[in-house]
Amino acid sequence: MKIGIIGSGAMGTGIAQVAATAGNEAVIYDTNPAALEKAKSQLHATLNKLAEKGKISLTDAGHIFGRIFFGSSIHSFADCNIIVEAIVEDLAVKQKVFQDIEAVVSPHCILATNTSSLSIASIAASCQKPGRVIGIHFFNPVPLMSLVEIIPAIQTEKQVTEKAIEWVAFLKKDGVLAKDTPGFIVNRVARPYYGEAIRIMEEGIADCATIDHAMKEIGGFKMGPFALMDFIGADVNYRVTESVWQQFFYEPKFKPSFSQKRLFEAGYFGRKSGKGFYDYAEGAVQPQASPDTTLANEIFNRIIIMLINEAADAVMFQIGTAQAIDVAMTKGVNYPKGLLRWADEMGIASVVKAMDDLYDLYREDRYRCSALLRKMARENKTFY
């Protein structure tokens, strides 16, 4: 099978590596020749490094690199079976590229987009054959993250979805089906990890260091929310938050915070700019986490309950199955445990009570308990 990849940035390069490693031929093309040249030397260096470390043999590294071709125009995609688009996140630009590609490829070629935030239906709508368009959403860095969200649009033909599932399995990735709604699974369900942490900080209940400490030590998360937001960058994380909120017709539970907006406006993008929620300047004094374990437990409970509530809502609205959502959060953002498995362990009734306590206190829509959890508690049901 031959895979065409358009856009040789971070994602396109990773997708080419993974496809060629699995045994596909991969053609990669970028309108910017410098980006294509960079992808070529990067792929070469990465494969050699893997061989040096003994992860693959030198012969395999050569074979994998030999299966990657660097196209000179979109005409290089003529005999591809699947095209994966990984260009700039701009609907109009993507629509134009899909139209151009459609004029080049065979009628059976699948057209996939790696978009993180645009609707697949709106990209498909620009094509002559919208039924062949689907979302195949990889995570960064592609060779290391095993999750792939597969997102059929309402126009997508059933056999296109089936072929996409087959291809993702061939890549030895964990594919999950997600509904074409803002943020798909991961970028929706993860929102409270950031949003609720900021809310706790804004209310003065605890500072960044204490909240990060609670999520790491009690929850077992690899990175606390503030360290993670600084790693992702306020530019990216704030934009995603705002976009999900707007696309959900200004749903209050996804409302962005002023703290993050101000960081974004100030250019305090986190690690990459030297300052974010934390100060990364050399010698900067880092805040110390409070040793209060009761407080740490309260923080962890509040954030995990909000995450579980969002995951349950995503099940209720059939964004994904409970299993798909648990795979998505453990493989896409390295959560230590699936949120719905966590819900079962904590007890659905106690999750409902904790949400109702938050709602009673704040009387904000943001804290409404998922109807699915309430129904399950009444019926004494569990997710697994």
Ligand X SMILES: NC(=O)c1ccc[n+]([C@@H]2O[C@H](COP(=O)([O-])OP(=O)(O)OC[C@H]3O[C@@H](n4cnc5c(N)ncnc54)[C@H](O)[C@@H]3O)[C@@H](O)[C@H]2O)c1
By CB under 6 A, name the binding residues for ligand X: 6-12, 30-32, 35, 86-89, 93, 97, 114-116, 138-140
User: Which element (helix H / strand E) includes 199?
Assistant: helix 191-202
Residue 137: active-site member: yes
Q: Is 319 helix (H, G, I), strand (E, B) or coil?
A: coil
Query: Which residue, 7 or 256, is less far from ligand X as judged by CB?
Result: 7
Query: 8, 114, 116, 237: which is the annotated catalytic residue?
Result: 116
- Whether 65 contacts 46, CB under 8 Å: no
Query: Which residue, 115 or 260, is less far from ligand X as judged by CB?
Result: 115
Residue 126: active-site member: no
Q: Which of 204, 188, 333 is nearest to 259 (CA)?
A: 204
Q: In angstroms, what is the minimal distance from the CB of 40 to ligand X?
A: 12
Q: In angstroms, what is the minimal distance from the CB of 127 to ligand X?
A: 16
Q: What is the CA radius of gyration of the chain?
A: 22
Distance between first and last Cα of the chain: 37
Query: Which residue, 219 or 270, is less far from ligand X as judged by CB?
Result: 270
Q: In angstroms, what is the minimal distance from the CB of 5 to ligand X?
A: 10
Q: In angstroms, what is the minimal distance from the CB of 129 to ligand X?
A: 20
Query: Which residue, 29 or 383, is less far from ligand X as judged by CB?
Result: 29
Residue with smallest beta-carbon separation from ligand X: 9
Who's near 267: CB < 8 A, 6+ residues apart? 273
- Whether 290 contacts 206, CB under 8 Å: yes
Query: 24, 102, 119, 149: which is the annotated catalytic residue?
Result: 149
Q: In angstroms, what is the minimal distance from the CB of 110 to ligand X?
A: 17
Query: Which residue, 8 or 155, is less far from ligand X as judged by CB?
Result: 8
Query: 187, 237, 243, 370: which is the annotated catalytic residue?
Result: 187
Which string of DSSP letters, residue by residue, matches 329-372?
HHHHS--SS-HHHHHHHH-HHHHHHHHHHHHHHH--GGGPPPHH
Q: Which of 179, 176, 167, 189 is nearest to 120 (CA)?
A: 179
Residue 75: active-site member: no
Q: In angstroms, what is the minimal distance from the CB of 151 to ligand X?
A: 12
Cα–Cα dist 106/99, whole Å: 13
Query: Which residue, 26 or 299, is less far from ligand X as judged by CB?
Result: 26
- Whether 314 contacts 267, CB under 8 Å: no
Residue 52: active-site member: no
- Whether 43 contacts 30, CB under 8 Å: no
Catalytic site residues? 116, 137, 149, 187
